[in-house]
Amino acid sequence: MPTGERSAPTLRDARAMLSGSSTVQDAVRQALSLEREKRDLNIFLETFDESALQQAERVDARRKAGDAGPLAGLVLSIKDNLCYKDHRVSASSRILGDFTSLFTATAVQRLIDADAVVLGRTNCDEFAMGSSNENSAFGAVKNPLDPSRVPGGSSGGAAASVAAGIVHAALGSDTGGSIRQPASFTGTVGLKPTYGRVSRYGLIAFASSFDQIGPFAHDVHDTARVYEVMAGHDPHDNTSSQRPVEPVDLEREPGTLRIAYYRECLERPGTDPEVVQHMQANIDRLKSEGHRVEPAELPMLEHLVPTYYILATAEASSNLARFDGIHYGHRSEKATSLEEIYRFSRSEGFGAEVQRRILLGTFVLSSGYYDAYYAKGQKVRRIIRDATLRTFNDHDLILLPTSPMTAFKRDALTDDPIAMYLQDIFTVQANLVGIPAISLPTGTHGNGMPFGTQLMAAPFQEARLLNAAATLFGA
Active site positions, annotated: 79, 154, 178
Smaller CB separation from ligand GLN, 169 or 311: 311
Smaller CB separation from ligand GLN, 272 or 424: 424
Which residue has the closest beta carbon to ligand GLN? 178
Helix (H, G, I), strand (E, B) or coil at 426: coil
The burial of 244, by beta-carbon neighbours within 10 Å (0-12 exposed, 13-18 middle, 19 or more buried), is given as exposed
To ligand GLN, the closest distance from the beta carbon of 176 in angstroms equals 3
Length of the chain: 475
To ligand GLN, the closest distance from the beta carbon of 427 in angstroms equals 7
To ligand GLN, the closest distance from the beta carbon of 354 in angstroms equals 10
The site for ligand GLN (CB under 6 A) is made up of 128-131, 154, 173-178, 206, 312, 424
Residues 367 and 71: their CA atoms lie apart, in Å, by: 50
Smaller CB separation from ligand GLN, 162 or 286: 162
State the CB neighbour count (10 A cutoff) for residue 20.
7
Smaller CB separation from ligand GLN, 313 or 467: 313
Q: Residues 6 or more apart from 160 whose CB is under 8 A from it?
A: 41, 43, 122, 141, 142, 143, 144, 151, 182, 186
Cα→Cα distances 199→84, 194, 245, Å:
14, 11, 13
Bridging pattern class, strands 212-217 and 169-174: antiparallel
Smaller CB separation from ligand GLN, 72 or 316: 316
The burial of 43, by beta-carbon neighbours within 10 Å (0-12 exposed, 13-18 middle, 19 or more buried), is given as buried
Angle of helix 220-230 versus helix 106-113 axis, rounded to 10: 110
To ligand GLN, the closest distance from the beta carbon of 131 in angstroms equals 4
**Which residues share a beta bridge with 120?**
47, 77
Q: Residues 6 or more apart from 412 whose CB is under 8 A from it?
A: 150
To ligand GLN, the closest distance from the beta carbon of 440 in angstroms equals 18
Say if residues 202 and 108 touch (Cβ distance below 8 Å): yes
To ligand GLN, the closest distance from the beta carbon of 179 in angstroms equals 7
Among residues 88, 177, 195, which one has the least CA distance to residue 125?
177
